[in-house]
């Protein structure tokens, strides 16, 4: 199936089985490798991207459903010259560790901050539910998100 996708503001086409996960299309067809595939069954959140502004697990999202949709990946949040405030906060707070979960965490946290620019710690914990980190124990991640929310 030929798919037309608007990824990070650019219309792109890809050839994919309609039931192929969007994560695989992004990584293998469009070479957007920031989206990670961890568990492959929607439990870790490493594959989180936005489809029409909503955070989704792209390892579970069938590619055909993304036809004509606006998709944002981690590559679409910043420019090569400048990180977003949240990306910088992850660095400043040591929230990256091995980095495998980082893109999914940042995508989920960015979606949270777009909905709720002043989240409480409980809001952040709830907003990151479904995103798993094996390295940081979450404290640095929560602190990074809260630091950006407190500046807005």
Counting every residue written for the chain, the total comes to: 152
* Contacts with 73 (C-beta within 8 Å, 6 or more apart), sequence order: 7, 8, 26, 32, 34, 35, 49, 103, 107
Q: How confident is the model at residue 151, as a pLDDT?
A: 63
The two counts, helices (H) then strands (E), for the chain are: 5, 5
DSSP for 88-104? HHHHHTT--TT-TTHHH
pLDDT tens-digit series, residues 94-116: 999 888 999 999 999 999 999 99
pTM recorded for the entire structure: 0.93
Structure tokens at 121: 């710690």
pLDDT tens-digit series, residues 17-59: 879 999 999 999 999 999 999 999 999 999 999 999 999 999 9
Q: How confident is the model at residue 80, as a pLDDT?
A: 83
pLDDT tens-digit series, residues 66-95: 999 999 999 999 988 999 999 999 999 999
Please give the domain boundaries of the chain with CATH numbers for all domains: 2-76 (3.10.20.30), 85-151 (1.10.150.120)
């Amino acid at each position: 199936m030929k798919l037309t996708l608007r990824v990070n503001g650019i219309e792109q086409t890809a050839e994919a089985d309609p039931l192929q996960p969007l994560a695989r299309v992004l990584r293998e067809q469009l070479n957007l490798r920031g989206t990670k595939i961890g568990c492959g069954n929607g439990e870790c959140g490493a594959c989180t991207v936005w489809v029409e502004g909503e955070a989704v697990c792209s390892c579970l999202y069938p590619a055909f459903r993304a036809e004509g949709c606006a998709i944002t990946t981690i590559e679409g949040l910043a420019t090569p010259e400048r990180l977003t405030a949240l990306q910088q906060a992850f660095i400043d707070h040591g929230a990256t560790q091995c980095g495998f979960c980082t893109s999914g965490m940042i995508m989920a946290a960015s979606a949270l901050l777009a909905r709720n620019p002043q989240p409480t710690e409980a809001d952040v914990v709830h907003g990151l539910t479904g995103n798993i980190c094996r390295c940081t124990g979450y404290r640095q991640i929560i602190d990074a998100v809260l630091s950006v929310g407190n500046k807005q």
